[in-house]
Structure 1
Amino acid sequence: MTPPLVGVSGRRRGAAGAHDGPAALDVLQVEVYFTGYADRLAEAGALPVHLPARADPGEVMSRMDALVLTGGSDVDPALYGQEALPSVRVDRARDDRELALLAAALERDVPVLAICRGMQLLAVHLGGTLVQHLESHPLGRDDTHEVRFAAGSVVHGIYGGSYRVNSLHHQAVAEPGAGLVCVGHAPDGVVEAVELPGRDVVGVQWHPEQLRHADPVFAWLTRVAMVKSSR
C-alpha cells in the first residue's frame, strides 16, 4: 500500500552552525526540525514531507494525508490576549504560518498530530489560553512522569489508561478552546493530551519523537492518514 503523505512543520533560523560551507553562508537561513519526527513517521510506514515556510497552506494541505505540528518556541501570548512574561520567547512568523496550516488542515478534515508547542498552538487556534510558565513541572529529555488518560478517548485507545512520558516544556494548556477536550493529565494536573471528538486530531504535550522506544501515536497517525489517502 502507498505510504500516506504526512506534512511536518518546522522553523526558519540563521544558517550559522547548520552548514559545512564558508562563513559567508552564515547570513542565509535554513528550515529545520529535529530528525526524530521524520524518523518515527517513516518507521511507522508514513512518508514524511517537509513543509517549507513559503508553501501555500491551502495548496499544501490539499495534497497531504496528515499534518504534524512540531515543538519549538513559545506561542505569542498576544494571540490569546495576554502580555508575554519575561521567560517567554516567541516566533510570531512561525505562529502565523502554522496557524494557517492548521486552519487549512481542519477545514479539509486532514488528521493532525500536534506535539508540545503544536498542542498549545492547537488550543490557541480554537480560542484557548496557555499557562505561560510552569515553575515546577519536571524538565529534561530523560525525565519521565506518568500521564493518565480519560476512558473512551482516542489517546486511551492508543496508550491504555496511563503512559510514561518525557517532559521538555515550561508552558501548558490552560483553557483548551472551543470543542477541544483535555483527555490526559500529569499527576500535578498539567494537561498532557487533548483531542477533538469525532475528528482525527490529537495533541500531546510530551515529545514522542524523542522517546527511546516507539511511541504508538505515530502508528495511529499513519493508520488514520492511510484511511484518508484511500478515499
Structure 2
Amino acid sequence: MSRPVIGVTCYVEPARFTVWDMPAALLPYMYVDHVVRAGGQPVILPPAGEPAALAGRLDGLIIAGGGDIDPARYGAAPAEQTGYIRKFRDDAEFGLMSAALAAGLPFLGICRGLQVLNVALGGTLHQHLPAVVDHTGHSPAPGVFGRLPVRLSPSLAKVYGDEELAPAHYHHQAIDRLAEGLEVTARSYDGTIEAVEVTGAAFALAVQWHPEADEDGPLFRALVEAAGTRS
C-alpha cells in the first residue's frame, strides 16, 4: 500500500547552510521524521504559488508552527510583543486551511496551526499570553520548550492513551475567543486552551503545543491513519 501524502506547511526565513546565507523555505526535520515514522509521505508546502489548489491532491495536511498571525485578521492592532508576522504565509495558509476544511481533508494544526484554524473560522487570539496568565511557562526562554501539564478531553485522551500529559510548549499567544464550530479538547491548568477539534469533522484537530518535539507521535499516527482511508 502506498504511503498517504501529508502536506506540511513551512517557514520562509533567512538561513545559513554550508557556504550560503539566503532566504530559504525550511521546516524543522522533526515534522518530517514523525510523518515518515507514522507511515506517511511528507511533502513540504512553501507559502508560494497557490497551495490551496493542492488540497485535492493531498491525503492529509499539517499546518506547522511559526510566527504570529497578522492581528488585523481578527480586528486587532499589533501588541508590542507580537512579531515575526509574515503576511504572505498568512495568505497561503488561510487559503489552504479553508480548502482543506471544505474538502474534508484530515488536518492537524500545530501551535501556529491551531491559531490559523481559530482565526480562519472567526475567533481571536491573546497576543501575549504571559500578560493573561502571569507566568512564562508556555515559552520560558528563546529556543527552550516549557513542560506544562494539560488535561485532555475523552476524545483526545483516546489518541494519547492518557487523560493528562506534559507536552512541549513554545507559544506566547493562544486562543482568546473560540471560533464557532470548534470544540475545546485540552486546557492547561491556568485555563489556556491547548487543543481544539472541528465539530462534526472526521479528523480535524489542532494543538497549541509541539508534538513533533517528543519521541512518541500519537497525533501523527492518528493523522496518517485517517489520511490512509482517502489514499
Do they fold alike, i.e. is TM over 0.5?
yes
Q: Structure 2 CA distance, aligned partners of 1:205 and 1:182?
A: 11
Establish whether residue 40 from structure 1 lines up as the match of residue 34 from structure 2. Answer: yes
Q: Residues 57-136 of structure 1: matches in 2 within 5 Å?
A: 57-89=51-83, 90-135=85-130, 136=135
Distance in 2 (CA, whole Å) between partners of 1:59 and 1:72 is 22
Give 1:68 shift: 0.4
Q: TM-score, normalised by structure 2?
A: 0.90
Quote the offset at 1:164 in angstroms. Answer: 1.6
Q: Quick check: 1:131–1:171 contact (8 Å CA) kept in 2?
A: yes
CA contact (8 A) 1:115 1:206 kept: yes
The gaps in structure 1 that reach 5 residues or longer are: none
Structure-2 change in CA distance of 1:65 and 1:55 (3 Å): farther
CA RMSD of aligned residues (A): 1.4
Could you tell me whether the CA contact under 8 Å between 1:9 and 1:70 is conserved in 2?
A: yes
Quote the Cα distance in structure 2 between the aligned partners of 1:72 and 1:3: 26
For residues 147 and 78 of structure 1, the distance between their equivalents in structure 2, rounded to whole angstroms, comes to 30
Deviations 1:175-197 (A, max 9, x none): 12120111100000011100012
Unpaired runs of at least 5, structure 2: none
Rounded to whole Å, the distance in 2 between the matches of 1:83 and 1:40 is 36
Say whether the 8 Å CA contact 1:184–1:192 is kept in structure 2: yes
Superposed structure 1 runs of 4+ greater than 6 Å apart: none
User: Alignment partner of 1:192: what SS?
Assistant: strand
Q: Take 1:95 and 1:189, find their aligned partners in 2: how far apart are those partners?
A: 27
Return the offset for 1:137.
Answer: 4.0
Question: What is the aligned-residue identity percentage?
Answer: 36
Taking the TM superposition and a 5 Å limit, the aligned residue runs for 1:1-231 are 1-15=1-15, 17=16, 19-21=17-19, 26=21, 28-89=22-83, 90-135=85-130, 136-138=135-137, 139-140=139-140, 141-151=144-154, 153=155, 155-159=156-160, 160-199=162-201, 200-211=203-214, 213-229=215-231
Query: Structure 1 pair 97/58, CA: closer, same or farther in 2 (3 Å)?
Result: closer
Could you tell me how far apart the structure 2 residues matched to 1:32 and 1:143 are?
23
AA at the equivalent of 2:3: P
User: Quick one: distance in 2 between partners of 1:127 and 1:60?
Assistant: 23
Letter in 2 for 1:59: A
TM-superposed deviation, 1:142: 4.5
2:47·2:88 contact (CA, 8 Å) conserved in 1?
no
Q: How far apart are residue 20 of structure 1 and its match?
A: 2.0
Secondary structure (helix, strand or coil) at the match of 2:229 reads helix
Q: How far apart in 1 are the matches of 2:169 and 2:14?
A: 27
Query: TM-score normalized by structure 1?
Result: 0.90
- Say if 2:47 and 2:92, in contact at 8 Å, map to a contact too: yes
| Structure-2 separation of matches of 1:109 and 1:157 | 21
When the two structures are aligned, how many residues end up with a matched partner? 220
Structure 1 residues 55 and 214: alpha-carbon distance in aligned structure 2, compared to 1, 3 A threshold: farther
